Structure 1
Amino acid sequence: MSGAFVVFEGGDGVGKTTQVDRLCRRLERTGREVVRTFEPGDSPAGHRIRALVLDPATGDLDPRAEALLYAADKAQHLHAVVRPALDRGAVVVCDRYVDSMLAYQGAGRVLAAAEVEQVARWATQDLRPDVTVLLDVDPRQAVQAKADLDRVEAAGLTFHERARAHFLELAGRDPSRYLVLAARRGRDELAEEIWLRVQRVLSRAGGGAVVSPRSGRLEP
């Protein structure tokens, strides 16, 4: 049975954690091995990189230095977590991946998009998700409404508007690989659309039709 790589993207505060939770629980109930992971930080080395890039105490970082730190996290994350899981046939569900680096460190920091993408694709050996779920919302309704912002969240509304626009641009380039959803729709409705799309991905990956053990009912 082939593995599958599902990624959730979108601005801060759009509800990715909730939908990742729901999808992982539902997949586990089908008997598939599920590896839930995230970027940056889900490896021992990545944990230290996450502290550097997100802690407000880090202060000002040159945008290129920030981008290279994120690229290093991605390279190690794929080496230590993602590729081993895919090789043994697991479904990997990842909260953030390359698109976040392109949107935040590229468009957000106003670096040359092509250069940032070249670094990101090199770091990840151009491993692409089977599907990317993009949860979209105006940052004024999401990250700008949060308290206790980390270093990137606190970058300002214009930064997050540029990032949002770039997420949507990336989805528009390759619509067959994306599921773009308005993040402020009902949680159950979003979860069901995500589930239906992931079912199709797993069927193509050779896992056969995936049927929920509670067919017809949404997972809690």
Structure 2
Amino acid sequence: MAGCFITFEGGEGAGKSTQIERLRQRLGGLAQPTLVTREPGGSPHAEEIRAFILGGHAKHLGPFAEALLFAAARIDHLDKTIVPALNRGTHVLCDRFADSTRAYQGSAGNIDEALIDQLERVTLRGVKPDLTFILDLPAETGLARARERQAGKGEGADRFEGEDASFHHSLRQAFLSIARSEPRRCVVINADQEPDEVEAAIWAALRERLPQLAENRLPDNAVRPLDVA
């Protein structure tokens, strides 16, 4: 049986990494094979492109050049990581995917939607998420969280965190527009609440949309394995 492909989207500071890890632990406790990955990145060549983009080295080339770089990284990620995992029955949890290109470069970057559509067709080759969680919160709240995280790590803002407030407001609306256009795939989660509440909302939505993932695959008398990060 093929694995399920679940993506997490949203603006900066939405808490995607936290919620992906919580979902990984829940699925691991049910003996559901799970792989966590991210974009840009998730494979050796894609990680190299990630460092180049987030370091701001492609910004002067413009949004379309960035979209092409993201597409190149995504092709490698799909070929080397995502598709092989799905084919062996492993569920894939991905921090960002094609919706981020549509939102960041397409909408906020003002690239024509038809051009983004064509780029997706070439890049994805029919691979789409089974379920996408869009973690939504006010741009100001997300940026404040991102700055707090940066301060804790002693890091500065990356390529997109450093954009002005209007960019991040546009970004939020772009993700909500994607959710409205694909309601069968996308679930909007209120991320402006405590992590436990966000986790509960995600789990409730997953049980409704992909109930097979909430099934315990361990026999009743089995010893539950330790969860290893």
TM-score normalised by structure 2 residue count:
0.85
> Structure 2: which amino acid aligns with 1:150?
D
Partner residue, 2:215: 210
Superposition deviation, residue 116 in structure 1: 1.5
Counterparts of 2:126 and 2:213 in 1: how far apart (Å)?
26
CA contact (8 A) 1:29 1:212 kept: no
CA contact (8 A) 2:71 2:123 kept: yes
Partner residue, 1:217: none
> Structure 2: which amino acid aligns with 1:56?
G
Q: Does 1:22 align with 2:22?
A: yes
CA contact (8 A) 2:136 2:172 kept: yes
Give the one of 140, 144, 153 matched to 2:161. Answer: 153
Q: Does 1:196 align with 2:201?
A: no
- Mark the runs of 5 or more structure 2 residues left unpaired by the alignment: 151-155, 219-229
Partner residue, 1:135: 135
Moved over 2 A (4+): 56-59, 196-203
CA contact (8 A) 1:26 1:212 kept: no
CA contact (8 A) 1:144 1:157 kept: no
Q: Does 1:98 align with 2:98?
A: yes
Partner residue, 1:73: 73
Q: Does the C-alpha gap of structure 1 residues 2 and 201 become closer, same or farther in structure 2, counting only changes over 3 Å?
A: farther
Q: Does the C-alpha gap of structure 1 residues 212 and 168 become closer, same or farther in structure 2, counting only changes over 3 Å?
A: farther
Superposition deviation, residue 195 in structure 1: 1.5
Counterparts of 2:113 and 2:144 in 1: how far apart (Å)?
25
- Identity level (%): 38
Partner residue, 2:124: 124
> 1:14-93 to 2 correspondence within 5 Å?
14-56=14-56, 60-93=60-93
Q: Does the C-alpha gap of structure 1 residues 212 and 153 become closer, same or farther in structure 2, counting only changes over 3 Å?
A: farther
RMSD: 2.0
Counterparts of 1:7 and 1:189 in 2: how far apart (Å)?
19
Partner residue, 1:109: 109
Partner residue, 2:222: none
Superposition deviation, residue 111 in structure 1: 1.1
Q: Which moved more, 1:16-25 or 1:175-184?
A: 175-184
> 1:154-193 to 2 correspondence within 5 Å?
154-193=162-201
Secondary structure of 1:175's counterpart equals: coil
Secondary structure of 2:89's counterpart equals: coil
- Mark the runs of 5 or more structure 1 residues left unpaired by the alignment: 214-220
Superposition deviation, residue 54 in structure 1: 0.5
CA contact (8 A) 1:36 1:94 kept: yes
Secondary structure of 1:154's counterpart equals: coil
Partner residue, 2:226: none
CA deviation vs aligned residue, 1:154-196 (integer Å, no higher than 9, x gap) = 1211111111111100100111211101111221122122123
Q: Does the C-alpha gap of structure 1 residues 155 and 121 become closer, same or farther in structure 2, counting only changes over 3 Å?
A: farther
Q: Does the C-alpha gap of structure 1 residues 176 and 58 become closer, same or farther in structure 2, counting only changes over 3 Å?
A: closer
Superposition deviation, residue 88 in structure 1: 0.6
Q: Does the C-alpha gap of structure 1 residues 194 and 62 become closer, same or farther in structure 2, counting only changes over 3 Å?
A: same
Secondary structure of 2:167's counterpart equals: helix
